[in-house]
Copies of this chain bind each other. A is one copy, B any other.
Amino acid sequence: MQEVLAASTASDWRPLDPENTLYMRLPQGLVVIELAPAYAPLHAKNIRILARGHYWDGLAIVRVVDNFVTQWGDPAALSQDSKALRPLGKAKARLPPEFERDIGPKLPFTKLPDGDVYAPEVGFSRGFPVGRDPQSGKTWLVHCYGMVGAGRGMTADSGPATELYAVIGQAPRQLDRNIALVGRVVWGMQYLSALPRGQGPMGFYKNPSKYTKIIRVRLASDLPASARLHLQVLRTDTATFEALVESRRNRTDAWYLHPAGKISICNVPLPVRKAPQAKG
């Protein structure tokens, strides 16, 4: 894998779009999330409005379930005191269920030929892992490690994308098409995955003293260039990416006695780097 990446060219990488990049500052460090407006445009729009209204500043990580998700949002949503809720400002209070999209030219698809237990087809689209079903004509983001989604209640449209979660364990693919995925963590994943697990019902922290406070969430486009990380992600529609997948499917280093021959969608790495010119 290192050899494949070392041989990559500048055009194999694309910079993150600052309008679709969230910086979440935690006491432990910085988490960067790339939004996926091609798959969840209204969620992405609401999240931009919420971030610009400083909605998450001072809110908290309230739930960590081992081998499942880390979730953050408004702690007041856990009590039944609706008056204590952080106001949404100009953001919508309800969003339609952006759980799947029509297959079409705006959603390019690089198929992973190895098969999948859950979806008729899987592959990559604009750097994200996706499933699709040619019969229904639908495609959707899939719940791999590091993917970020928007919590919802019992009705499909009950979430305003204020309560977000990141996958921190074995891909919970049963959630695919049941909830809106809105992006993925591209930096600082360990600040979400290594948190103490919640001991209350459903993995919420029993005691608010265990919450991790969110210092602030900002769109990269609202930060001065000097305060941005200038991250790039490997394009998933390139020969370099195909070589990367093959290098992980059939490991050639001598340690491996039995190359797997196959790879599962959520085992494919999606490399991220700092832009070379931004390096020290």
Contact = CB atoms under 8 A, between A and B. Distances in A.
Contact of A260 (B99, B169, B173, B195): B173
A271 interface: no
Contacts of A156: 257
A233 to B, nearest CB: 17
A177 B256 CA distance: 9
A255 B178 contact: yes
A86 B133 CA distance: 56
Contact of A264 (B117, B144, B194): B117
B257 A178 contact: yes
A89 to B, nearest CB: 28
A251 B193 contact: no
A126 interface: no
B262 A117 contact: yes
A171 B118 CA distance: 16
Given A118-B264, A173-B264, A66 B257 contact: no
A189 interface: yes
Given A154-B254, A267-B174, A118 B193 contact: no
A238 interface: no
B117 A193 contact: no
A272 interface: no
A188 to B, nearest CB: 10
A170 to B, nearest CB: 5
Interface residues of A, number: 46
**Looking at A67, A118, A172, A266, which has the most chain B CB atoms within 10 Å of its CB?**
A67
Contacts of A262: 117-118
A116 interface: yes
A196 interface: yes
Contact of A267 (B170, B197, B267): B170
Contacts of A64: 194
Contacts of A170: 144-145, 169-171, 266-267
13 contacts: A99-B258, A116-B117, A117-B262, A145-B170, A170-B171, A172-B267, A173-B260, A174-B251, A174-B259, A177-B258, A178-B258, A193-B193, A193-B197
Given A154-B255, A170-B266, 11 more contacts: A66-B194, A115-B115, A156-B257, A170-B170, A173-B260, A174-B248, A174-B263, A174-B267, A178-B256, A194-B194, A194-B196
